[in-house]
Amino acid sequence: MADATVEAKTTVFAAATNLGFDLSEEALLGALSVAKASHTELFKLVNGAVALTESAQGAALKVIRDLLTRSEEFTLEALNGIEAVALSLSRTLRQVRWVSRSTTAEVVISNKTAAA
């Protein structure tokens, strides 16, 4: 009977030990599963944020590039307009002579127009 009691105690001890190891194994696996899931979700979140930032920067750079292109076109057109006005004014003033007398000013058309 003593052998049966020792054997029963050994069996109960072995079962309790196995149960303890199973419990610790499951707890460890559960904790690691939570860590893996957290890692995956965190990676997706950070990766999405980086992709969003990259997209926003790309869009911002495109807007800046378009603004620069439009401002260059506007500046060139403005300079061409100023050039045309300046040349027209210069040509007009070349054809007209201003003669100043004491209190009055006469506009005398150039020789080409006066001779005709």
User: What pLDDT is attached to residue 83?
Assistant: 96
**Facing residues of 109 across strands?**
96
Mean per-residue pLDDT, 33-44: 94
Whether this prediction's pTM lies above 0.95 is answered by: no
Question: At 105, is the pLDDT very low, low, confident or very high (cuts 50, 70, 90)?
Answer: very low
Average pLDDT, whole number, for the chain?
82
- Residue for token digits 């005398």? 108
Residue entry with tokens 């052998």: 3
**Higher pLDDT residue, 9 or 53?**
53
Q: Kindly write down the DSSP assignment for every residue of the chain, as one continuous string.
A: -HHHHHHHHHHHHHHHHHHHHHHHHHHHHHHHHHHHHHHHHHHHHHHHHHHHHHHHHHHHHHHHHHHHHHHHHHHHHHHHHHHHHHHHHHHHHHHEEEEE-SS-EEEEE-HHHHH-
Distance CA 77, CA 12 (A): 96
Q: Please write the tens of the pLDDT for every residue from 79-103.
A: 999 999 999 988 887 777 554 444 4
What does the longest C-alpha to C-alpha distance in the chain come to?
151
pLDDT in tens, 5-37: 767 777 888 888 888 899 999 999 999 999 999
